[in-house]
Structure 1
Amino acid sequence: MLKNLNTKQKIIGLSSSIMILFMIYGFISGKSFSLIINDSEYIENTVVPEIIHLSKFEKYILDMQLSISNAIIENNFDKIGEAKEYFNKASIEMSVIQELFKNNSNELKNIKNLELLAKNLFTEGENIANKFIVTENKNIILEQSIEAYSEHLHHFENEIEKEIQKVENNLKSNVNEIIALSKDSLFEGIVLLVIGVLIGFTVSVVIIKQISKSLDSFKLGLLGFFAYLNRESNTTELLEDSSKDEFGQMAKVVNENIIKTKAGI
């Protein structure tokens, strides 16, 4: 096949083959980079904010619980108001969290359950603190209520830790996917680079051999023709002109002159 091409066409063909390989690599890499960008944006815009706001929500609820405990310990109504402020801050965080999870119906149910648990914790803690402050027999209030409240608080902590763990696992999964895509893209690039080098080297060797062979054949034929012209030889053979490259074209020109010269002698 290469024999039917001239040198320019061979070089263009070689360059085109290598270019096609790089285009394929560019297409594959483009898809990989697109997925990496999508995952990165998802992490930046969704997963990280989820972790941040869930953690802040948990912190405000725990601060709320601490204020309720201080209200009981200090017999202080102001601490109940402080607990209310923390609960309001937690509610703001919860609104943001629900917006982040709005496209995930299953997790949104869990988030709303957390909201309900937090609301019940505040209501229950507020009632306990109010009763404790105004009641003279405080031990009875504590004995009846604190144990149940502690269980509810523990349940809340377990549930929110589960949600945070899910989000963290989601983050790890996306990061691992980005790493895997990056490795795959690098591997594909190396493979295509090696293939390109091998193709380029192989085709270059073939082209060089063909050019060298054509040049040697042309040289021998031309020397034979000159020997015939100088009466150093009684005969001369036509040059090999079957090649479609420049040497084949030159050989045809020389052959025409050989034929004319033979006819004129």
Structure 2
Amino acid sequence: MLNNISTRKKLMFFPALFILNIIIAGMLYSYFNAKVKHTTEAQISTEEFIQDLLKGRISVYQFLRVSNEQRAQKVRDDFANLDSEVKQLQATLTEKENIKLADKILELSALYVKDFDLFSKEKIRTYNEGTQAESAEAKRLILEMRKIALELEKTLNDINKRAISLKEDASSTLTTVLLILAIVSSILFILFSVALSSLIVNTLNDFKHGLLSFFSFLNRETSDVKALNAKGSDEFAQMAKVVNENITLINEGLKKDNQAVEDALKVVEKAKLGYLDVQLQTQANNPQLLQLSEALNSMLRNIKRNTDSISVVLKEFSNYKFTSKVDSSGIQGDMKEFIENVNFLTGEISGLL
């Protein structure tokens, strides 16, 4: 499959994977960091709830010391502020358990304020009358308020602990996810690097073996040449196809040249035996060999023509005709000397007769 992908695209995988890794890491970090931030804000808010409850109870103690409507309203305002903050947080919560705890806080707060309203009316009345002793109803309401306050405090601590736990879980999850992403990315980088390097090395080795086989053929070490592996459409496959095309052309040319040399040797052997009417028919691919073949054919034709001319003159001797001579124009060297000797013999015999 990788053979059908260009080397440039293969190498582009690394920066693409790196960019993709950065994008994924950024998205994951943004998502989990938002969760960490949200849970941190929830933790801070729940801690503020505990402080608001403490303020409300302090306001109750202050009301017990000086029981008037102003102090009573201060208690109501403190718990109203607690309710408002709890509702704001509840709107952002996603955990069902936390939502239930927020509902419970609002419910307990409402019960506490309800009992306080009943208690405050009785307390303001007795305070204005100067009565120090608490009525049975007032004592009952105080006990009920204390019980509700303790339950409310416990619930606030529970939601605070859950907020802390969620924050720690979100932080831990963020670290784990980023670590897994780093490990997976590293494994992908390593696997692709090994696969790509192995592919390139194997392709280069095939390329090298193919060229060595071709060079062995050129050096006459082997009688045949193997084509390079040209599977795929990447740069190496394209180079292999070009090399294979040239190997085919050169191989065919060498075979033609070898055949021409073989035929030339046969012609020479026949010429050595005295056959001068032979010609080299095979067309060589090499221009020099082609030129040599043409020169050899021309030489054989000239020798054949000269020997034929000499043969004609010598045959005339059998008919007692000694007047013909062999034309030696354009001829030099030993052949010219041979023709001149034949012509001299013809002239001498003709003179004697």
Asked if Structure 1 and Structure 2 have the same fold, meaning a TM-score greater than 0.5 normalized by the shorter chain, the answer is: yes
* Aligned mates of 1:238, 1:219 — CA distance in 2: 9
Matched residue, 2:314 = none
Further displaced range: 104-113 or 188-197:
104-113
Are residue 237 (structure 1) and residue 231 (structure 2) matched? Answer: no
Are residue 62 (structure 1) and residue 57 (structure 2) matched? Answer: yes
Letter in 1 for 2:113: A
* Aligned mates of 2:13, 2:86 — CA distance in 1: 53
Q: Which one of 82, 98, 113 corresponds to residue 71 of structure 2?
A: 82
Matched residue, 2:169 = 177
Matched residue, 1:227 = 219
| Aligned-pair CA distance for 1:117 | 1.2
Q: Which one of 187, 194, 200 corresponds to residue 202 of structure 1?
A: 194
* Aligned mates of 2:197, 2:23 — CA distance in 1: 27
Q: Which one of 102, 109, 112 corresponds to residue 114 of structure 1?
A: 109
CA distance 1:127–1:186, change in 2 (3 Å): same
Q: Deviations over 1:121-158 (max 9, x none)?
A: 2441452253145245x3xx237466434422321221
* Aligned mates of 2:90, 2:198 — CA distance in 1: 62
Letter in 2 for 1:217: H
Matched residue, 1:49 = 45
* Aligned mates of 1:107, 1:86 — CA distance in 2: 20
| Aligned-pair CA distance for 1:188 | 1.9
Which one scores higher on RCO, CA 8 angstroms, separation ≥ 6?
Answer: 1
Letter in 2 for 1:111: L
TM, length-normalised to structure 2: 0.57
Cα contact 1:114–1:160 (8 A) shared by 2 = yes
| Aligned-pair CA distance for 1:179 | 2.2
Are residue 254 (structure 1) and residue 247 (structure 2) matched? Answer: yes
| Aligned-pair CA distance for 1:59 | 2.7
State the aligned residue count.
246
Are residue 191 (structure 1) and residue 187 (structure 2) matched? Answer: no
* Aligned mates of 1:66, 1:248 — CA distance in 2: 96
Further displaced range: 253-262 or 148-157:
148-157
Unaligned runs of 5+ in 1: 72-76
Unaligned runs of 5+ in 2: 94-98, 232-236, 259-353
Q: Deviations over 1:76-107 (max 9, x none)?
A: x56x5334324323323323433543684774
CA distance 1:91–1:38, change in 2 (3 Å): same
* Aligned mates of 2:105, 2:177 — CA distance in 1: 37
* Aligned mates of 1:98, 1:216 — CA distance in 2: 76
* Aligned mates of 1:256, 1:222 — CA distance in 2: 12
Cα contact 1:56–1:90 (8 A) shared by 2 = no
Matched residue, 2:267 = none
| Aligned-pair CA distance for 1:181 | 2.2
Cα contact 1:240–1:251 (8 A) shared by 2 = yes
* Aligned mates of 2:163, 2:33 — CA distance in 1: 14
TM, length-normalised to structure 1: 0.72
CA distance 1:11–1:193, change in 2 (3 Å): same
Q: Which one of 73, 98, 106 corresponds to residue 87 of structure 2?
A: 98
CA distance 1:144–1:62, change in 2 (3 Å): same
* Aligned mates of 1:215, 1:182 — CA distance in 2: 49
**Aligned with 1:252: secondary structure?**
helix
Cα contact 1:67–1:82 (8 A) shared by 2 = yes
| Aligned-pair CA distance for 1:201 | 3.4
Letter in 2 for 1:87: R
Further displaced range: 169-178 or 80-89:
80-89
Cα contact 2:228–2:244 (8 A) shared by 1 = yes
Are residue 160 (structure 1) and residue 157 (structure 2) matched? Answer: no
Matched residue, 1:74 = none
**Aligned with 1:211: secondary structure?**
helix
